Structure 1
Amino acid sequence: MIKNIDEYLIEIEKDIEKVYEISNNLISFKKTTKEIKKSIIQDWKDKNIDDNQKVKCLSTLKESYKQYLKIFDKKSKDNLIDLNQQYNQYVDTYNKDKKPLKKKIPVKGMKILGISLVPLMMLLALCISYLCVNKINLTNQNSIIAFSLSMLILVVCLIFLVFIIIFSTKKSVLDYKNKSYICASIGFTASFFDTLGIGSFATNTGLLKATKSLKDDKKLPGTLNIGMAIPNLFSGVLFMTSVSVDLTTLITFVLSAIIGSLIGSSIVNKINKKLIAIIMGVVLAITSILMLLTVKGIEVFPSGSAMGVSDVWWKLFLGCLAFVFLGIMMSFGVGLYAPAMAVISFLGINFLVVFPIMTCSAGLTMHINGYKFYFKNNYMPKTSFFMTIGGIIGVLTSYTIVFLGLITLLKIDQTLITDVFKWLSVFVIAYSSYTLFRSYFKQRKVVISAVPKISYNIDYLDFNNYINSFYTNTFVKNI
């Protein structure tokens, strides 16, 4: 039976609600299982159960958990298959008698677009970088190492792209109402300015809200991490070939930021976010003033010209500590770019060196976080996909204008470009400080009520029946 457009939309909305219902139930299921496990261990410590009961109950809990996890997985996959079938039928019906530019892109079309356009843009950018801007010297050891690292990072980008194309596009119907060209334009704009060191978080957030593409603020971090991961990291590949940087400094600082982000993700719920916001706000406010004193035209303090600090051990050590701290701050929602600019400047390093360091650090961290957001369904799949498409084009455009157009063809002095970027960075850091202060005062108004401790009334005499009945009635029955 052929349905009309409205009937398809009703079915699609119902299926979308079901997807999120299953996803939310799965999260609750995992959390509850951990709580039950803790309760069993606590009862054993309180000597309410003996060793044999503890071992038997934990074993039963583990087996039941695996069994019901498979049920969730099957229901989730089946529901997503039904949803995509409904959406594809809706797209086919909608596209009838529509002009080519007004037709909606089906899921298969998105996959073709991603697998063809993104690698093509990458190849074009690499050709500009290696053949025009900074020709690779295969007789120089540093050039060979830099090229090898660039190719390794490029492989990471392509693996994530394949992941998005195979898995994430299947969920693109979840935010099907967002227009493709708007999402791509947002990605283009954010990545264009991101490549200039202005940062993409504020740009993306403002544009997503201005275009009413963001309906749920909780999905913002996931959308930005997945949507900007590839453009951000790929710009790092281009900067590694275009900006002279000490490789030891680059690698150690990037690894430090990644280690910091992993530490931060494990402690993010244990530290007061208001305290972090006010401390970083003050630090960046002071930093912006100090940075202002180093820019062209003021120059109270001299700016650095070193390509790295691997020859000064204490500077390298301090830099690593600073980037571990910045990586931790990323887990609390503090952007990396502004404070990274300050750290590089204060270490006496040439300001342009910050670009490959901060783009690689932020990009790799986004890749790690992106997988987490995907499995939690806590992002907008279609929006992030087209932000990636637009973002790659934005990186290519911005890089071509600055490094090919201004520096290579027009022969504009690189120090002049650096001076412009330093002036921009002062405003970026000052604005970042303002947003952190604003975040602090907003959080002060939020009163979080205490979460009551749940008692599960565990039946240890017939634990197998208890846990299966509990899982079925609490999580599975209604999905």
Structure 2
Amino acid sequence: MLVPIILGLIVIVNACFAFTFVKDLLKHKKETAAEPGNPVVMAIATFLIFLLSTFGISDFAIGSSLYPKAKWVSDKKLPGTLNTECVIPVAVMALAYISSIKVGLITLATAIVCQVIGAYVSPRYVTKLPTKVIKIFVSIGLIVAAILILAGKFGLYPAGGNESALTGGKLILFAVLCLIFGAFNNIGIGSYPLTMATVYALGMDPGVAFPIMMGACTFSVPIGSMQFVKLDSYSRKITLFTSTFGVLGVLVAAFVVKSLNTAALQWIVVVVVLYSAFTMIQSAVKMNREEKKNAEN
């Protein structure tokens, strides 16, 4: 009984985002068409990004590395874009993969509610951050993503336990962390690997990590993303392409390819992500020096 309810709520919440996005898209058709990016290249890139994301390679990490280099989106709008672009593809992932939920209802509800609160509150502050601060936050997110990919490859994650639900102090700690993870999404730090590491560290069965991650994100990210749309702090063009070609990537991964050896790709992603983080930090430092120099003059 729980599964149909969760899936129904996923459809409703994500439909609200889709309505908000389409309304904004129709209102800004000329601006969207004028945004940078070759349509063919964007179609191929977004298809591959979410095909790989379905197999566990972070779309936040790839997007943070690719979009600024390709000059498809400004640094200021990057956090919002990373969120809005993944809403529809992640909803499709959830509908394709969540067939059974073995996690305790209170634990799952805690993850969803707390991440939604974090995601709802933080966009209005993120959009006010200086560009150099956003660069630093995104760089931190990239480094965290690289560390967690490497930790997984070398078996450094906690092994997890047998619990399917949390109670007492562990549940309170989990609630606080989920609130933070929901806010982290909005500054470009993906919550998937952080949630997975937390689930394992708190002694939960690794099998419950997916419904918690997916459940929390498919509710929290649309809520935060609607704020980014209202604040005009995202790329409409990238979001449009991921909502079409990105979804195709998810469907191909889920129903055609079904399995993919990502071991070599993960090494490539780590190298690219760390390089992008390094160059972004360099850029932030350079901006800071220029601001100081201008202030002195």
With the shorter chain as reference, the TM-score category is 0.7 to 0.9
Label 1:309 to 1:289 Cα distance change in 2 as closer, same or farther (>3 A): farther
State the distance in 1 between where 2:264 and 2:171 align. Answer: 25
Asked if the contact 1:254/1:360 (under 8 Å) is kept, the reply is: yes
Map of 1:84-103 to 2, 5 A cutoff? none
Asked if the contact 1:256/1:327 (under 8 Å) is kept, the reply is: yes
The partner residue of 1:234 within 92, 108, 113 is 92
Kindly state the Cα deviation for residue 246 of structure 1 after the two structures are TM-superposed. 3.2
What residue number does 2:25 align with?
A: 168
Kindly state the Cα deviation for residue 319 of structure 1 after the two structures are TM-superposed. 1.8
Secondary structure of 1:192's aligned partner:
helix
Letter paired with 1:201: F
- Report the number of matched residues: 288
Asked if the contact 1:185/1:387 (under 8 Å) is kept, the reply is: no
Asked if the contact 2:116/2:216 (under 8 Å) is kept, the reply is: yes
Label 1:401 to 1:247 Cα distance change in 2 as closer, same or farther (>3 A): farther
Asked if the contact 2:103/2:208 (under 8 Å) is kept, the reply is: yes
Letter paired with 1:149: I
Per-residue deviation, residues 308-356 of structure 1 (Å, max 9, x unmatched): 333x433322222222222232333222223222212222333343333
Label 1:329 to 1:401 Cα distance change in 2 as closer, same or farther (>3 A): same
State the distance in 2 between where 1:278 and 1:222 align. Answer: 15
What residue number does 1:115 align with?
A: none
Label 1:347 to 1:442 Cα distance change in 2 as closer, same or farther (>3 A): farther
What residue number does 2:48 align with?
A: 189
Label 1:289 to 1:224 Cα distance change in 2 as closer, same or farther (>3 A): closer
Asked if the contact 2:80/2:234 (under 8 Å) is kept, the reply is: yes
Kindly state the Cα deviation for residue 432 of structure 1 after the two structures are TM-superposed. 6.2
Letter paired with 1:197: G
Kindly state the Cα deviation for residue 194 of structure 1 after the two structures are TM-superposed. 1.5
Kindly state the Cα deviation for residue 363 of structure 1 after the two structures are TM-superposed. 3.6
Map of 1:365-384 to 2, 5 A cutoff? 365-384=220-239
Task: Give the % identical residues.
Answer: 25
What residue number does 2:180 align with?
A: 325
Unpaired segments of 5 or more residues in structure 2? Answer: none
Kindly state the Cα deviation for residue 180 of structure 1 after the two structures are TM-superposed. 4.2
Kindly state the Cα deviation for residue 389 of structure 1 after the two structures are TM-superposed. 0.8
What residue number does 1:148 align with?
A: 5
Q: C-alpha root-mean-square deviation of aligned residues, in Å?
A: 4.1
Unpaired segments of 5 or more residues in structure 1? Answer: 1-143, 296-300, 407-416, 453-479
Letter paired with 1:444: V
Letter paired with 2:90: N
Secondary structure of 1:344's aligned partner:
helix
Map of 1:229-268 to 2, 5 A cutoff? 229-242=87-100, 244-265=102-123, 268=126
What residue number does 1:351 align with?
A: 206
Kindly state the Cα deviation for residue 200 of structure 1 after the two structures are TM-superposed. 0.9
Per-residue deviation, residues 224-260 of structure 1 (Å, max 9, x unmatched): 3333211123323333325643333222112222222
Per-residue deviation, residues 181-208 of structure 1 (Å, max 9, x unmatched): 4433333222212222211123234554
What residue number does 2:254 align with?
A: 399
CA radius of gyration, larger in = 1
What residue number does 1:308 align with?
A: 164
Map of 1:36-75 to 2, 5 A cutoff? none
State the distance in 2 between where 1:222 and 1:306 align. Answer: 37
Per-residue deviation, residues 132-161 of structure 1 (Å, max 9, x unmatched): xxxxxxxxxxxx112111111112222322
Asked if the contact 1:229/1:367 (under 8 Å) is kept, the reply is: yes
Give the TM-score normalised by the residue count of structure 2: 0.74
